[in-house]
Structure 1
Amino acid sequence: MIATRSSLQRLAFSFFLAASNTTRSTILSSIEYTERKVVQLNRLYSNLNSLFTPIHFNAAKDARLLNVIFAEVRRKKSKKSDSHNLGKTTLIELIDFMLLKEITGSDHFLEKHKERFHNFNFCMEIALHDGGFATVCRSVSQPTQISLKRSVDSIENCFQIAEDEWDHRDATLSAARDALNAYLNLKMVAPWDYRTGVSYFLRTQADYTEYFQIQKFMQGKDRAWKPYLARILGLNYEAVAHKYQIEDEILDKQSEQQKKIAEIDPDNQDRGELVTRIAIARDEISEAEQRLDGFDFHEAELEINKRVVDAVEARLSEISENLYDVDVDIAQLEKSISVGIKFDIKRIEQIFTESELLLPASVTRSYEELVDFNRKLTKERNKELRARLTKLRDERDGLVIEHKRLSDERQKLFAIVQQADTFRKYKALQKQQSLKQANLAYLEGQLARVDNVADLERSLRELRGRRDAATTAIEISLSRGSPIKQNITILFNRYVARILDINGEFIVTGNSSGNLEFAIRTKDVTGGDTSQDRGHSYHRTLCALFDLAVLKALEDTPFYHFVYHDGIFEGFSNGMKLRMLDLIREVIGSGKIQYIFSIIDADLPRDEDTEQPVKFATDEIVLELNDQGDSGRLFKMPPF
């Protein structure tokens, strides 16, 4: 027979009634725990237990207990004794490392002393607010290769998990953060991830300087942390973040606008004047174009230059020389052709008679034969000379024609070249036109910049309007407040009054720029301002009390449910220590907040009656340190 759900419920209720009071309490405690939602540190250990003792925190069902990091200075008379070199603060850095802090290039002790810690692999188990646990495994040698696993039950030793059983094996730092962020599921800080505010709850000595701007944000601007804090307080964080984003855009636009204004001539900043000057410049250019088009030059004439003229002159000179040579040759040929045989035999005979000499008959006969031969030879020669003469005359005719053509061309060229004034005017008009066009381009560029500045100004007006809307949204959010902010304000004042016997005011206002301002002020019983918050011890106390107020106000929400305060009792009076310890126990009494703190034996509160140091229960001390050699340190090795 299968039991119904109602029958099982009746059976369980009957068993509860029949149980003893002790058993009933145990059952109620168990039921209460199953409904409790927490994000707390459960265990921290390494692969080298001999050098790093595993730490089992009081978490989840044991969160009602304190988590004390207790350092004992046993060699009080030794000058070499140093309680500040045992590892109390180093533990915070190690926890931060296991919460996936980026350490590459930083002064983190695991990065600075990487060679010493090279062989260490660490595991940290975190209790999740929606049930179960998340285990993070990270090595020093490969800090960007991280393994993660989610489990229903606590895992005794993550180093015994098979590689294929990890949910994420050797994930990158970014991927590992995304996975852990999903595991933690801190809806109260969305859209930010878990890393953004984790340092608020890992307070080193350096993180007590400012109430809200912890060391992580010390170098950053307000936009890095104020929207986040507004989110935690239940205020309109979107308007706060949006306003900062808009102000960034305004600064960028203003910077760009100033650059554009610097590029504008002071005489050209009036857009109307610029438009008029551009219209006039364009009209002047148009008129000049018409004047240029009015010059009556043939296309060939516009290409004339000195080289063309010189070439024509040179060819004419060459033709003239050729004509002279041809004319000389023709004259000589004509003369040669016109000259016959001039030798007269009768004249020779007369000369011989007058000289009473007898001319032999043989000579006369030979001469006649010679004349006859010469006539034949001359005839042939003249024939060739006439052919040569004809050729020279044809050549001359060609040279004359070319000479005439080139002479006419030269005349035209000289006519154009001689119009010097016309060319000068044309060139001057061209130059003037170029200047006008350059001036037009400059004016148009100035107008473009003026228009750009105007566009930027319109964008700025739109951005300022959006900024004003965001400012209004912030003001409305402040005026309405939120239950979370109100609860934190009340709790903080209660805690301050209880510990310091003064009023502590947590104030959120808007400044003159419309941005949020967060402040903590202390008032005496008469309402006057006190200066107590200016001392380091009081300042540290107020920081711690504010953390407790925030955690208490959000203990039932998907938020952080742990805090580590380093050296919280240093510098306190004994009464303050006792009151602080009582308050802490009261805050964690619900089991929803895990409180971790470090303390040295000299800072232990003392019983007011016996004046003996108040001792913590054995199960509340999760780590003991001392100054008696390496074995007493967090890492069982020489100091670093």
Structure 2
Amino acid sequence: MKLSKLYTNKPDSFTPVNFVSGLNVVMAEIRLPENRNKDTHNLGKTTLGRLLDFCFLSGRDPKFFLFKHEEIFKDFVFYLEIELEAGSFVTVRRGVEAASQISFKRHSASDQDFSELPDSSWDHCNVPFDRSKELLDGLLDWRTLKPWAFRKILGYLLRSQDDFREVFHLRKFASRHSQWKPFLAHILGFDGELLEQHYQKEEELSKKESDADVIKKELGGSAEDISKIEGILLLKKQEAEKKTALLTAFDFRSQDKEKTKQLVNDFDATIADLNSQRYSLNQNKKKIVASLEEEQVLFSPEEAKRLFEEAGILFQGQIKKDFQQLIEFNKAITEERGVYLREELTEIEGALKQINAELTSLGKKRSDALSFLSTTDVFDKYKRVSDELVTLRADITSLERQKDSLHRLQELRTEIRALKEAKTQLQAKIEEDTNKQNADEKSLFSLIRLYFSEIVEDVINRKALLSVALNQAGHLEFQAEILDESGNSTSADLGHTYRKLLCVAFDLAILRAHVAEKFPGFVYHDGVFESLDDRKKENLLTVLRKYADLNVQPVITLIDSDLPARAAEDGAVFSQNEIILTLHDESDQGRLFKIPSW
């Protein structure tokens, strides 16, 4: 499949571009001296690639020049004539104003002009956008790309200057790796569908884990023991049923009996036990406080000395020293014992505080129960039981929600385990396939590797390596690098000039490897010679012509100042057949669109 012709309904404003089967050159000549040092010239060599993308049904981007300046281009209708594999042709019609309505016509001869063709003569007229993409996918029949659609590869076939920054990860694939890595693996000869499934499992796993985290946050501090919650729920429901029956029968004798039993067995017994504990703790507290107050050494050696002197007895030397040591020893013991006593006192005060709080609560419950038993107003009892039932039902509803959340959490954990297992199995298959394609010297990937390195070596006399390996996350990593004379990787590929060469080599190698299959046969490279030295430009031109002879249709754009100087001195660099479009800066007539610059 190759490009055949691009034209519009306004030939005076846009000269038709006829593509040839071999090398296609779009030459931009800078004829005005004041423009030679400019970085951009707005002649249209880059715009041509964007128009091809538009005719291949790119989405409506408000930043795209046709829509950004719609007041200028709204009346333009573009026609792209495409040569199909069978030697037949299809023309795609797409206007700016009605960009979501596309028409198609099959025909047997090239270089047609359907700009005046009535709608009734089109095979498919004004087809909605999504359906149009499906229709064009079928007409192009790039079946080697399946199950991916035709537009997936166009980023590699229509490279603008911005698309030479990365060999594999194009600007249009700014989103997740899952949007481009499986497809790239597929056209390189790997099992891209395994990668697609792996990314899908990862996405599902991430969503399930996120859902599980949300449920855990909603549960908060609630117990995650489903058995415990179901047990409490059962008891609450049973109690609610009893109270419902009580209210229905309007008979509170059983309730009175239950309150009496609760009052005697629970409240009074508990209160008595707590009072006993409180009494015991208070006694211990009293003893500790007294002990702390009494533990003081009252003997004073100096006072004893004075008394002994009055009595005429010596109190010097060893006697005084022994008393002082005894006092110090007693002080140490007293201080250590005081520490333990104060710790015990703190514990007792804490226990007393807790017991007092429990006694207060039990006292209120006991008072409520006594009040219920003592009241003779049956309606008051009805109201109290009703209030208790409302509280019970609220508790039941809350527990039901917790139970449902825990059941869902258990289901999610089961699904998460299954997804992790499936993901691990897929990763093992991807690794096996990657190793197999790398090791097989006759695989499609090995063939692309050889073509890729051959192109780079022909241009800069260095070999290049294309590698694909599995990272720790189970994803494929793609790498293209230039090797030194010893076969080791270098940093040469990091420069823009050599990075562009790697992009060109990759695109051409892909097309050559698939040249005998249902696969696109053209590639568009904008500014392909820019920043290369003369010898390398000549080498690259030789490669491009070689690939044109191999049934690949290279379309390149360049400024005349990027022509290889030595070849230009010897004569014309390109033949008249190769130059499909010449642009210049002398007037508006030299632009792609022969209108004032926008």
State whether TM-score is above 0.5: yes
Q: Give structure 1 stretches of 5+ with no counterpart.
A: 1-38, 299-415
Measured in 2, the distance between the counterparts of 1:123 and 1:174 equals 19
Matched, 1:554 2:524: no
Matched, 1:617 2:575: yes
Which stretch shows the higher mean deviation, 545-554 or 252-261? Answer: 252-261
Q: How far has the Cα of 1:611 moved from its partner?
A: 5.4
**Equivalent residue number for residue 50 of structure 1:** 12
Matched, 1:168 2:127: no
Deviation per residue, 1:433-476 (Å, 9 max, x gap): 33233223222221111111001111112222222222222122
Q: How does 1:86-165 map to 2 (within 5 A)?
A: 86-103=43-60, 105-165=61-121
How has the CA–CA distance of structure 1 residues 291 and 170 changed in structure 2, closer, same or farther, with 3 Å as cutoff?
closer
1:501 equivalent among 461, 468, 485: 461
- Counterpart contact for 1:83–1:626, Cα < 8 Å: no
1:467 equivalent among 423, 431, 450: 423
How has the CA–CA distance of structure 1 residues 57 and 451 changed in structure 2, closer, same or farther, with 3 Å as cutoff?
same
**Helix, strand or coil for the counterpart of 1:196?**
helix
**Helix, strand or coil for the counterpart of 2:98?**
coil
How has the CA–CA distance of structure 1 residues 464 and 174 changed in structure 2, closer, same or farther, with 3 Å as cutoff?
same
**Equivalent residue number for residue 250 of structure 1:** 205
**Equivalent residue number for residue 278 of structure 1:** 233
The code of the aligned residue for 2:129 comes to L
Deviation per residue, 1:390-438 (Å, 9 max, x gap): xxxxxxxxxxxxxxxxxxxxxxxxxx99944766555434433332332
**Equivalent residue number for residue 177 of structure 2:** 222
Q: Give structure 2 stretches of 5+ with no counterpart.
A: 254-371
Measured in 1, the distance between the counterparts of 2:172 and 2:223 equals 49
Measured in 1, the distance between the counterparts of 2:7 and 2:121 equals 19
Q: How does 1:348-497 map to 2 (within 5 A)?
A: 419-420=375-376, 427-481=383-437, 483-497=443-457
The code of the aligned residue for 2:428 comes to T
**Equivalent residue number for residue 637 of structure 1:** 595
**Equivalent residue number for residue 2 of structure 2:** 40
The code of the aligned residue for 1:254 comes to E
- Counterpart contact for 1:604–1:614, Cα < 8 Å: no
1:199 equivalent among 145, 155, 166: 155
**Equivalent residue number for residue 600 of structure 1:** 559
Deviation per residue, 1:99-136 (Å, 9 max, x gap): 12223x42111112222223322221111013311111
Measured in 2, the distance between the counterparts of 1:110 and 1:451 equals 55
**Equivalent residue number for residue 583 of structure 1:** 543
- Counterpart contact for 1:502–1:524, Cα < 8 Å: yes
Q: Alpha carbon RMSD of aligned pairs, Å?
A: 2.6
**Helix, strand or coil for the counterpart of 1:599?**
strand
The code of the aligned residue for 2:477 comes to E
How has the CA–CA distance of structure 1 residues 216 and 553 changed in structure 2, closer, same or farther, with 3 Å as cutoff?
same
The code of the aligned residue for 2:536 comes to M
How has the CA–CA distance of structure 1 residues 507 and 418 changed in structure 2, closer, same or farther, with 3 Å as cutoff?
closer
Q: How far has the Cα of 1:286 moved from its partner?
A: 5.0
Measured in 1, the distance between the counterparts of 2:427 and 2:468 equals 14
How has the CA–CA distance of structure 1 residues 500 and 155 changed in structure 2, closer, same or farther, with 3 Å as cutoff?
closer
1:536 equivalent among 477, 496, 499: 496
Q: How far has the Cα of 1:616 moved from its partner?
A: 0.8
How has the CA–CA distance of structure 1 residues 614 and 153 changed in structure 2, closer, same or farther, with 3 Å as cutoff?
closer
Measured in 1, the distance between the counterparts of 2:16 and 2:246 equals 98
Matched, 1:72 2:16: no
How has the CA–CA distance of structure 1 residues 558 and 418 changed in structure 2, closer, same or farther, with 3 Å as cutoff?
closer
Measured in 2, the distance between the counterparts of 1:43 and 1:279 equals 79
Which stretch shows the higher mean deviation, 429-438 or 142-151? Answer: 429-438
Q: May I ask how many residue pairs the two structures share in their alignment?
A: 476
- Counterpart contact for 2:4–2:111, Cα < 8 Å: no
Deviation per residue, 1:568-619 (Å, 9 max, x gap): 11111112111111111112212x11000001111101327x8557521111
- Counterpart contact for 1:604–1:613, Cα < 8 Å: no
How has the CA–CA distance of structure 1 residues 510 and 82 changed in structure 2, closer, same or farther, with 3 Å as cutoff?
closer
**Equivalent residue number for residue 269 of structure 2:** none
**Equivalent residue number for residue 320 of structure 1:** none
Deviation per residue, 1:342-387 (Å, 9 max, x gap): xxxxxxxxxxxxxxxxxxxxxxxxxxxxxxxxxxxxxxxxxxxxxx
Measured in 1, the distance between the counterparts of 2:54 and 2:590 equals 22
The code of the aligned residue for 1:600 comes to I
Q: How far has the Cα of 1:530 moved from its partner?
A: 1.2
Which stretch shows the higher mean deviation, 271-280 or 481-490? Answer: 271-280
Matched, 1:566 2:526: yes
- Counterpart contact for 2:30–2:36, Cα < 8 Å: no
Q: How far has the Cα of 1:181 moved from its partner?
A: 1.3
Matched, 1:177 2:133: yes
- Counterpart contact for 2:5–2:111, Cα < 8 Å: no
Measured in 1, the distance between the counterparts of 2:35 and 2:157 equals 34
Which stretch shows the higher mean deviation, 126-135 or 146-155? Answer: 146-155
1:260 equivalent among 205, 215, 220: 215
How has the CA–CA distance of structure 1 residues 631 and 523 changed in structure 2, closer, same or farther, with 3 Å as cutoff?
same
The code of the aligned residue for 1:236 comes to D
Q: How far has the Cα of 1:164 moved from its partner?
A: 2.8
Q: How far has the Cα of 1:543 moved from its partner?
A: 0.7
Q: How far has the Cα of 1:260 moved from its partner?
A: 1.2
TM-score after normalising by structure 1: 0.70
Measured in 1, the distance between the counterparts of 2:237 and 2:118 equals 82
**Helix, strand or coil for the counterpart of 2:166?**
coil
**Equivalent residue number for residue 267 of structure 2:** none
Measured in 1, the distance between the counterparts of 2:245 and 2:396 equals 18
The code of the aligned residue for 2:20 comes to N
The code of the aligned residue for 1:615 comes to V
Deviation per residue, 1:227-283 (Å, 9 max, x gap): 111221221111111111121111221121111111114232122322332233344
How has the CA–CA distance of structure 1 residues 436 and 147 changed in structure 2, closer, same or farther, with 3 Å as cutoff?
closer
**Helix, strand or coil for the counterpart of 2:104?**
strand
Measured in 2, the distance between the counterparts of 1:528 and 1:100 equals 43
**Helix, strand or coil for the counterpart of 1:607?**
helix
How has the CA–CA distance of structure 1 residues 69 and 279 changed in structure 2, closer, same or farther, with 3 Å as cutoff?
same
How has the CA–CA distance of structure 1 residues 127 and 290 changed in structure 2, closer, same or farther, with 3 Å as cutoff?
closer
